[in-house]
Amino acid sequence: MFLTRRTFVKYVVALIGKFVTVLCGVTACRRSRLSPRQPSSGKAARSYRRICTREEANDPAYIHLWCNGELQARTQYLWDQLSACRLCPNRCATNRHIGRKGRCKADHEMVIHTMYPVYAAHQTWPAQPPSALITFSNCPLSCVFCKNWDASQKSVGKIYGLTESAIALLHLQNIGCSSVRLNMPTPYLPHILSALSIAIENGFRLPLHYRTSGYENAEVLSLLAGIVDVYQCNLLIADSAGAQELMGPCPQYPAVLHRALMEMHRQTGPSLFTPAGKLRRGISFEHTVLPQNTARGELHLKWLRKHIGTNMPLRLNGTYQPAYQAINHPAIARRVHSHELSRLVQTAKQLGFSNVSVDGT
């Protein structure tokens, strides 16, 4: 059966119409997941009055952003980015709204690997409340030595809807967690902020910490100002050639990291501590020492001293063990020797770092 030209055009127009309807439906549906700025009636209006007319001094800053609609506006902006995703520095421009997977293997749904409360290794009396750790699956980097490779590279995890995630946040608050640490959340920022809005409406108040490798798009990070209190940055390989060889196609890692750190520092300002000595606002750093000084930690320390300072918490980790594909790379196919760790500890002392903790040999 042959179609006449006229019938063919009619079909095409009808098809485009259907596509536009579905697209509008998806957008409207996404918008409806966000809280209105100042709802005039119903349950939403009652929540708005309850939360926003009695803002308290120790409320997290995101409450204020939620009340004035800024949080919802930023969330919407981030959702819009998913049609040609540029959330991380890979900027792979994948249309994740229609279920395509980006270079990080994330699509339109949020996948969480694990979620649980973490208690301090050495408990004091009275006992310190735990902090909640949420690890997300799929990572923009492809480090051959990743110890969470099942989450970061193999997408292992469970899909969480927005309401389900909000309920999980409220549950972590109800069981006594003092903060929520979002571990490698970049590909899911729109989902996380949407879930946060729903949770706020239902009484969520915990401060958010953002755990990252520093491979972040600084413009996207700037949208987290006033939402994240503490950044925990894991400093990976400090020279471009090493990063290119062992962390996937990211030759710009050191430059990207530096831009991201400047943005984090701009947002949080100088470190603020609780009376118990915990970081309340600021950036804490961790650096895992690799065998044969492959990660070039001294370059990170020199940069930090010059651009950010030396009094923020810095953890030097000497517990590296070859994981994932590290065994195929002779330079990092063994554990770290104690003298390799001590050399970096010594360098940190000489450079004047005053808040250093050391793990391992």
AA letter at 173 = Q
CB of 91 to ligand SF4, least distance (A): 5
Binding positions for ligand SF4, rule: CB under 6 A: 85-88, 90-92, 94, 96, 102-104, 106, 140, 186-187
How large is the C-alpha radius of gyration of the chain?
23
Nearest-CB residue for ligand SF4: 102
Shortest CB 78 distance to ligand SF4, Å: 11
Residue number, 179 or 186, with CB nearest to ligand SF4: 186
Answer for the pair 257, 235: CB distance below 8 angstroms, yes or no.
yes
Using the structure block, give the residue that is written with the tokens 């270079």.
103
Question: Which lies closer to ligand SF4 via its Cβ, residue 140 or residue 282?
Answer: 140
Minimum distance of ligand SF4 from residue 248's CB (angstroms): 10
Looking at the Cβ atoms of 186 and 232, the one nearer to ligand SF4 is: 186
Residue with tokens 């958010």: 208
Contacts within 8 Å (CB) and 24+ apart, 100-103: 102/187, 103/140
State which residue, 88 or 312, has the beta carbon closest to ligand SF4.
Answer: 88
Structure tokens at 101: 């997977």
Nearer residue to ligand SF4 within complex by CB, 106 or 200: 106
Please, how many CA atoms are within 13 Å of residue 209, restricted to the half-sphere of its CB? 23
CB of 251 to ligand SF4, least distance (A): 15
Shortest gap between Cβ of 272 and ligand SF4 (angstroms)? 30
Residue type, 85: C
CA distance 325 to 143: 9
Which C-beta is closer to ligand SF4: that of 184 or that of 228? 184
What's the residue count for the chain?
361
Planar angle of CA 181, 48, 221, nearest 5 degrees: 35
Joined tokens for residue 185: 């959340």
DSSP helix/strand/coil, 256: helix
d(CA 318, CA 304): 20
Nearer to ligand SF4, 51 or 192 (CB): 192
Nearest approach in angstroms of CB 26 to ligand SF4 is 18
Measured from the CB atom, the residue of 134 and 301 that comes closer to ligand SF4 is 134
CB 113, min distance to ligand SF4, A: 16
Stretch (H or E) spanning 272: strand 272-273
Nearer residue to ligand SF4 within complex by CB, 35 or 94:
94
Please state the closest distance from residue 229 (CB atom) to ligand SF4, in A.
Answer: 23
Q: What is the number of H-type helices and E-type strands within the chain?
A: 12, 10
Give dist(CA 83, CA 72) in Å, integer.
18
Write down the least CB distance from residue 93 to ligand SF4, Å. 7
Give the separation between CA 332 and CA 170, rounded to whole angstroms.
Answer: 41
d(CA 334, CA 319): 11
